[in-house]
Structures are given as C-alpha cells and as structure tokens.
Amino acid sequence: MTKETLWSRDFLALTTANGLLFVGFHILLPTLPIYVASLGASGSEIGLIAGIFGYSAIFIRLFTDTGVRAFGKKTCLYAGLLLSLLATAGYALLDSIGAIVVARVIHGFGFGLSTTFAAALVADVIPASRRGEGIGYFGLGSTIAMALAPAFGLMLLSDISPWALFITSGIATLAAFFAARQDRTAEREPALPVPAVHLSFRNRLYEAGTGIPAILTILFGAAYGSVNTFIAMMASEAGISSAGLFFIVGTFFIFLSRPFGGRLLDRYGAFAVVIPGALLYCMALALILAAGSLPVLLTASVFYGLGAGLLLPALMTWMLNVVRADRRSAASATFYNMLDIGTSTGIVALGSLAGTVGYIAMYRYVLVIMAAFVLFGLLAHRLSRQVRQPEEAEE
C-alpha cells in the first residue's frame, strides 16, 4: 500500500515557521540576561525577566479553547508571531528594566500562542498514519535552534552590538510569520462564537484524557531542563572544558532518532517509544554522574540525544492522538504547559539544590526523577493492557 504524503507544501511551511520561531527565541535565551545586566539590573530582576517568560506562556495557553473558537487556529498563530516580533522590538527600543519585563510578558504570550497553534495546525496536515513520524520531523527545527542559535546570539552580542542581536531575532520571527502564511489548508473547523460555557482552571490547564502523558511530560521536563540549563556548570565543577560540544553531539543523535522513533510510534504505539527513550535518558544521566573527562561527557550526550529525540515528539504525538480532531489545539497547549511547568519548576528546585550539594551530585536527584518516570510509565502501560484485555475478550 502506498504511503500517504508527508512532505506537502503546508507541512514544510509550518515546520519552517516553527524552526524560525525557535531561532528567534534561542538567540535571546542566553543573551537577554547579559544585556539587562549591562543596563544595571539586579540579580532578582534578572531572575524575574528570565522566569516570567515561561509563566506568561502557560497563562496565555489557559485561553487556547476560547481563542480557537473565536478566531481560528491560523489567526491565533499569526497573532502569536506578531506579538513575539513586537516584544523583540521592545527589547531594542526600551532601556528601563520595568519596560523590558513588560516586553518579556508580551513575548511569553506570543511564544505560547505560536508554539501551541503551529503544532495544532501541523497535526491537521500530517496523515494520521504518519503522525508520529511527522511530529518528529516537525520538532527538528527547534532542535537545531537549541544547538546553534545560543552561540550565534552570544557572538552577535559580544562581537557586534545588542542592536544586531535584536534585529536578527526579529528577522527570524518575521520570516516565521511569512513562512506560516504559506500554509494554504483551510481550517478543519470554522471559527465559532465563544459559547457561554464555564471551564474550570483544571480543564484550561490540561485537556481531559491526556492525564498519563501530561504527568510524564512534567517529569521529563524537569529532567530535560536540568540538563539544558546546568550541564555547563556541572562540566566546570568536574574540570571538563569544551562542554558546548555536548549539545552539538546530542543534536546529531536527536536527528538520528527522530525518523525511526516516529515510525515505531505509528506502528506499535506510544509506550514502544516512551519507555526505551526514558531508559536511554537514564543512561545519559548515569554517565553525566560518572563523567570526569570530555569523552565520557560526550558519550552521555549520545544517550541524551537519542533519549530526548524519542521522548519529546512521542509525548506530544501521544497527546494529539488521544483527543478528537477539534481538540488538538487544547492538546497541543497541554503538552507545552506541562513541559514548561516541569522545566521551570525543575530548574528552580534543582538549581537551589545544586547550591547546597553541587551540580554533579544534583544529577543524582535528576536520575531519581527519570526513574520515577520509568516506573510510572510501566505501571500505566500495565494498567492500560489490563483494561484492554477484558474489552477484547468481550468482543
């Protein structure tokens, strides 16, 4: 049987737009704290500017359902990209700390909308039989951005000027907007008037039916954020130089894992990818704990890349697959909310812990988090099989 087409114009447009959005984001991630410090920001103000972004993104996603019914997915995506562009211009034009905090909140709103609706739209254009594979490819742009854009942003800030940094970020975001406009598919559901229905905070925070992957995403977010944020500090504590190679090597293996991970999920289901991915990530953490040299750390990055490359798209696809087509925007918002909650909370809690026990010892607790992920995942898989077996027997 002939495979349904994956690489359509609409899929390429949305994948490109998502990648460019993350380029604009990751260029600023390590550089904005340095920039506001040069303006005289205190440590607490820098922490506020860094942390408020994620919480703003979570907040705006609480209104995903309202937005998609009132305006449609595409309009919400375009609004998110334009808000991100407005915030980037604000960083360049404003020089007071308070104004930059406001711009950071606006950027969080824009990023929250853009990531949510780009994923929801691409789920509509990917054939259902290839959704795992397609989501894997869709996420590669953000992976490339995470590996390369921070270093490029630091170079722009240190070797040229803050203006060059903000202009480059703005160009990437504007290019994302024009790329998204190349998606010509019609909305799967028309924009409808907002019904007079009260949604509880819980229903806004996560979509019904996504409980198991939501909990797993929170746990993985805590572990994933700790590696991305603290690996350089851990390497410094261990006396390892050139720790930036960790992400370059890891990104290469994320690339390798995405195609076969997606096909495996499409054929055998989410658990066939999630559990092996978690075990690979546990191996990465064990090697980080044992790392006393660059070769061992780079070996850890191989398992980091394979594990993260399997887990992130698998958890997102799982959520998209367990909801109706008209609820994919809410499922996409759930994925990013749970990831942001896990990442933000993990960074704060584990960072505080590292101040007491050190960055190397901190990774023991990260390994415990991933062990809890594996145990919960296996328990959920066993329970789901027990539920299916009686149903199959009745048939």
Q: HEC string of the chain? A: CCCCCCCCHHHHHHHHHHHHHHHHHHHHCCCHHHHHHHCCCCHHHHHHHHHHHHHHHHHHHCCHHHHHHHHCHHHHHHHHHHHHHHHHHHHHHCCCHHHHHHHHHHHHHHHHHHHHHHHHHHHHHCCHHHHHHHHHHHCHHHHHHHHHHHHHHHHHHHHCCHHHHHHHHHHHHHHHHHHHCCCCCCCCCCCCCCCCCCCCHHHHHCCCCCHHHHHHHHHHHHHHHHHHHHHHHHHHHHCCCCCCHHHHHHHHHHHHHHHHHHHHHHHHCCHHHHHHHHHHHHHHHHHHHHCCCHHHHHHHHHHHHHHHHHHHHHHHHHHHHCCCHHHHHHHHHHHHHHHHHHHHHHHHHHHHHHHHHCHHHHHHHHHHHHHHHHHHHHHHHHHHHHHHHHHHHHC
Indicate the residue among 127, 152, 183 that finishes a domain. Answer: 183
- The string of pLDDT tens digits covering residues 150-191 is 778 878 888 899 999 999 999 999 999 999 999 887 655 544
Q: Determine, yes or no, domain membership for 194.
A: no
pLDDT score of 260 = 78
Same domain assignment for residues 110 and 28:
yes
Residue 74 identity = K
Same domain assignment for residues 254 and 376:
yes
Q: Determine, yes or no, domain membership for 192.
A: no
User: For residue 31, how many other CB atoms are within 10 A of its CB?
Assistant: 24
Q: Is the pLDDT of residue 6 over 50?
A: yes
CA distance 114 to 88: 15
> Hey, is 202 helix, strand or coil?
helix
Same domain assignment for residues 307 and 379:
yes
Q: Determine, yes or no, domain membership for 308.
A: yes
pLDDT classification of 385: cutoffs 50, 70, 90: low
Q: Determine, yes or no, domain membership for 196.
A: no
Same domain assignment for residues 13 and 120:
yes
Same domain assignment for residues 43 and 176:
yes
Q: Determine, yes or no, domain membership for 235.
A: yes
Say which range, 76-85, 189-198, 283-292, 322-331, has the weakest mean pLDDT: 189-198
Same domain assignment for residues 160 and 300:
no
Give the CA dihedral 125, 128, 129, 130, nearest 10 degrees: 40
CA distance 239 to 244: 14
Range of 151's domain?
Answer: 1-183
Same domain assignment for residues 220 and 167:
no
- The string of pLDDT tens digits covering residues 320-373 is 887 887 777 778 778 888 888 888 788 778 877 887 888 899 999 999 999 999
Q: Determine, yes or no, domain membership for 258.
A: yes
Q: Determine, yes or no, domain membership for 188.
A: no
How high is the mean pLDDT of the chain?
83
Indicate the residue among 183, 218, 248 that finishes a domain. Answer: 183
Mean pLDDT over 25-35 rounds to 82
Considering its fold, how many domains does the chain have in total?
2
Same domain assignment for residues 4 and 78:
yes
CATH number at residue 14: 1.20.1250.20
Mean pLDDT over 281-294 rounds to 94
Same domain assignment for residues 136 and 247:
no
Same domain assignment for residues 49 and 91:
yes
Chain centre distance of CA 260:
20
CA distance 187 to 52: 32
Residues 6+ apart with CB under 8 A from 68: 76, 117, 120, 191, 329, 330
Same domain assignment for residues 106 and 220:
no
Instruction: Give me 177's structure tokens.
Output: 């907007």
| Backbone phi, psi, residue 121, to 5° | -70, -40
Same domain assignment for residues 139 and 256:
no
- The string of pLDDT tens digits covering residues 116-133 is 899 889 888 888 778 777
H or E segment to which residue 358 belongs: none
Indicate the residue among 118, 153, 183 that finishes a domain. Answer: 183
Q: Determine, yes or no, domain membership for 190.
A: no
pTM score, whole prediction: 0.74
Q: Ranked by mean pLDDT, which of 147-156, 226-235, 286-295 comes out on top?
A: 286-295
pLDDT score of 204 = 64
- The string of pLDDT tens digits covering residues 48-58 is 776 788 888 88
CA distances from 183 to 142, 174, 247 (A): 19, 15, 31
